Amino acid sequence: MQHVVSQEWLFEHGTDDQVVIVDCRFILGNPEAGRKAYAADHIPGAFYLDLEQDLSGPKDVHGGRHPLPDPDQLAVKLGQIGIDRNTLVIAYDDQGGAMASRLWWLLTYLGHDRVSLLDGGYTRWKEAGYPVTDEPPVEHPTVFKPQLRPELVLSMEQVKERIGRPGTVLIDSRESRRYEGIEETIDPVAGHIPGAKQRFWKDSLDSAGLWKSEAEQAERFSDLREAQEVVVYCGSGVTACPNIIALQQAGIKNVKLYAGSWSDWVSYKENPVATGRE
């Protein structure tokens, strides 16, 4: 299954029986914006899933800002919008693929591999003159049966055990200033998990905002070819997901998500914090 599909492909296949399109637009700090944008216009037939209402669980003392949702509750929502084992899901957003990648990862975690992102996102689709609508989609409910892959996700304790472990590489997906501890605009502590390498998630995209080729991703992660295990995190487990897609494109296996990410890590006061480059 290819990780990314073109506008042309979606225009030709968006109405196929087994295709379900999901709009994942969401702006951090403005939680109503994505749903309002969807109500104004969206790709015909697309359903809306909200990062915080649908693709995350409730916040607690630990677990980070966007904990993973309850798998059974998410499965019910997926079934309601017509996703089952046979469905090909196409996800899009207007955030460089960050939110759509979260849905991609969650579906993969629930055992569903038939999911791709729309290259370039919604604005590019609209600018190219492809159809948009404000009409709600027609629901064809089905039953989604999750088959969890717990090996794809790590807890804080499991990440802590891996610091300094030969063969394991930690990847921090945030921008340099947050990784280096120069500034922290969201979480209470600045810096990164000791030993982590910084790979900004937006480097998955080219200068035009399109996904880089498999060869380009392989070049970007060329120093990780010998890694036995790659653990990816970000601020809250969302923008790590584009990097996970890019690592898969690069042919790197055994990639895991630290779902709680930095916001979970710093909720434990005793956890070590590093600053500067590594």
- Hey, which residues are catalytic here? 234
Cα–Cα distance measured from residue 28 to residue 31, given in angstroms and rounded to the nearest whole number = 6
The single-letter code of the amino acid at 193 is I
Q: Spell 80-106 as b/e; 16+ CB within 10 A means b.
A: ebbbbeebbbbbbbbbbbbbbbbbbbb
Cβ proximity of 117 and 100 under 8 Å:
yes
CA-based angle 250:256:260, to the nearest 5? Answer: 130
* Residue 208 token pair: 């035009």
* Cα 211 to Cα 243: distance, rounded to the nearest angstrom: 11
What one-letter code names the amino acid at 189?
V
Please give the single-letter amino acid code of residue 149: R
Q: Which residue has the tokens 């900004």?
A: 200
Beta strands in 46-155 (DSSP E): 47-48, 88-92, 115-118, 153-154
For the beta carbon of residue 208, count every other beta carbon within 10 angstroms: 7
